[in-house]
């Protein structure tokens, strides 16, 4: 499970790279700031984050060197899910959770069916092309099941949102908690839509009746904003504190970790977009994300009982904070409260990360397992074509099937992830015709074969399946 979560964490970094720049450009080019309409196209990244996640996970979890087909498989999976739900009920949107499910299924389908051989008349659809057909067939019933199940979740959240206003500070806490907690499932939009644009009513000086926390606050309602205030604490202080904790706790790749955390923090503060940081631990450490959700709710409840009221037009960024400070009640106190939550966030995340084996960026050692020496090895060639016999002997001399966790090949090498590399018999493997055996660490090893490695891996896979 830990190895799986580590790979999932690496996979999530693929779409995360696109988020900071897109978020900043989208915010500063909005109508209430620079009003650069063309730059608003950067918002497409967030409108399609489910697609990016599906592609990233499919690429990251697929057992192959060339990630093109897995990426296509992931795109097909999420496309069918989105289109199918739109056909059945246009109001359904599984958002990030849909991307997660689609990516996982795409990776599983690719790994399961990439070596399937069909009769010659259908040979074009064999091998790596076969998962493309299978993912289409699989996603249709998955979409049907999602259509039957998801409306109940959305209806429950909608009912809850309408009940929160009667609970006072507790309602503010629940709203903040659920806003973060429901994000992976895409259901936070249901909650937000009602809170932002449906909760309560206020009659403006011009006689117009407006609804929702956002609209009422901007129109001067002195009772609006309590359901919004806590996000300034969570976004401007909490998320940067998480980023700092991850950076300070980093054991490996410290420079890359600092760069990603730094840009993610800047994006949160300036643009109010938190996904670049949250997605680094959302799926790989659910407990930390749960704590983040609790602290978001706690921040809102704290401001509520301190009678601190602030609102926004777009999100809880420093831009909205400054622009709307004149409409707030004691809005300046968000700063000292935010500093307190910054410390709370940092201490919690930092000590949890350094005391637990949390598979997030900075905690995952990047070994040289992915390095190749294809320039030196491209001219290597086996002295025989007995791939089946060779694969059988290699399997016997790496500790048998029971010692194998995962395997794949690059251009010239068979890459192995084993439970214990000390079980490898180098001399016996070299006698099969291999050109070298490289033991990276106690779990990873490589056997240098040459360009014929692709043929060997097919036989090796059969040996794994048949023994």
Cβ burial of 456 (10 Å; 0-12, 13-18, 19+) is: buried
Of the candidates 410, 438, 439, 440, the residue annotated as catalytic is: 410
Q: In whole angstroms, how far apart are CA 446 and each of 107, 170, 386, 456, 460?
A: 23, 57, 20, 14, 14
**Do residues 191 and 185 lie in contact, with contact meaning Cβ atoms separated by under 8 Å?**
no
Q: Which long-range contacts (CB under 8 A, 24 or more apart) does 459-464 make?
A: 459/387, 459/388, 459/390, 459/391, 459/392, 460/391, 460/394, 460/395, 460/407, 460/414, 461/115, 462/388, 462/391, 463/388, 463/391, 463/392, 463/395, 463/401, 464/395, 464/401, 464/404, 464/407
**Do residues 256 and 240 lie in contact, with contact meaning Cβ atoms separated by under 8 Å?**
no
Cβ neighbours of residue 335 closer than 8 Å, sequence gap 6 or more: none
CB atoms within 10 A of CB 137: 10
Q: In whole angstroms, how far apart are CA 272 and each of 15, 229, 235, 387?
A: 18, 13, 6, 56
Distance CA 59, CA 48 (A): 17
Residue 410 annotated among the catalytic residues of the structure: yes
- Which residues have a catalytic role annotated? 410
């Amino acid at each position: 499970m830990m190895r799986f979560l580590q790979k999932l964490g690496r996979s999530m970094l693929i779409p995360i790279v696109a988020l900071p720049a897109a978020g900043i450009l989208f915010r500063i080019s909005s109508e209430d700031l620079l009003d650069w309409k063309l730059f608003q196209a950067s918002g497409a990244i967030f409108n399609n984050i489910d697609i990016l996640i599906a592609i990233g996970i499919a690429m990251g979890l697929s057992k192959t060197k060339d990630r093109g087909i897995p990426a296509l498989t992931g795109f097909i999976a999420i496309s069918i899910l989105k289109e199918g739900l739109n056909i059945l009920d246009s109001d359904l949107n599984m958002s990030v959770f849909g991307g997660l499910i689609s990516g996982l299924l795409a990776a599983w389908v690719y790994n399961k069916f990439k070596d399937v051989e069909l009769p010659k008349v259908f040979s074009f659809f064999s091998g790596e092309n076969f998962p493309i057909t299978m993912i289409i067939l699989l996603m249709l019933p998955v979409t049907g099941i999602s259509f039957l199940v998801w409306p109940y979740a959305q209806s429950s959240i909608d009912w809850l949102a309408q009940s929160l206003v009667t609970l006072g500070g507790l309602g503010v806490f629940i709203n903040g908690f659920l806003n973060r907690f429901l994000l992976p499932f895409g259901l936070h939009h249901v909650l937000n839509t009602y809170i932002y644009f449906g909760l309560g009513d206020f009659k403006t000086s011009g006689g117009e009746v407006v609804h929702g926390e956002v609209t009422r606050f901007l129109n001067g309602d002195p009772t609006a904003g309590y359901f919004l205030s806590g996000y300034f604490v969570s976004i401007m202080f909490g998320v940067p504190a998480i980023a700092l904790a991850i950076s300070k706790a980093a054991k490996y790749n410290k420079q890359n970790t600092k760069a990603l955390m730094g840009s993610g923090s800047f994006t949160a503060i300036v643009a109010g977009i938190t996904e670049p940081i949250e997605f680094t631990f959302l799926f790989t450490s659910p407990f930390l994300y749960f704590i983040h959700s609790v602290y978001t709710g706690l921040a809102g409840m704290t401001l509520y009982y301190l009678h601190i009221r602030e609102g926004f037009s777009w999100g809880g960024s420093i831009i909205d904070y400054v622009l709307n400070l004149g409409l707030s009640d004691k809005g300046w106190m968000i700063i000292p409260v935010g500093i307190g939550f910054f410390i709370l966030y940092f201490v919690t995340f930092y000590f949890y990360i350094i005391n637990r084996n949390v598979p997030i960026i900075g905690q995952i050692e990047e070994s040289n397992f992915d390095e190749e020496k294809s320039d030196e090895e491209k001219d290597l060639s086996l002295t025989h074509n007995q791939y089946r016999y060779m694969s059988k002997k290699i399997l016997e001399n790496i500790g048998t099937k029971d010692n194998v966790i995962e395997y794949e090949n690059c251009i010239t090498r068979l890459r192995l992830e084993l439970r214990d590399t000390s079980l490898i018999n180098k001399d016996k493997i070299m006698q099969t015709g291999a050109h070298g055996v490289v033991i990276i660490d106690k779990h990873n090893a490589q056997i240098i074969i040459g360009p014929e490695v692709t043929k060997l891996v097919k036989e090796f896979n059969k040996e794994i399946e048949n023994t």
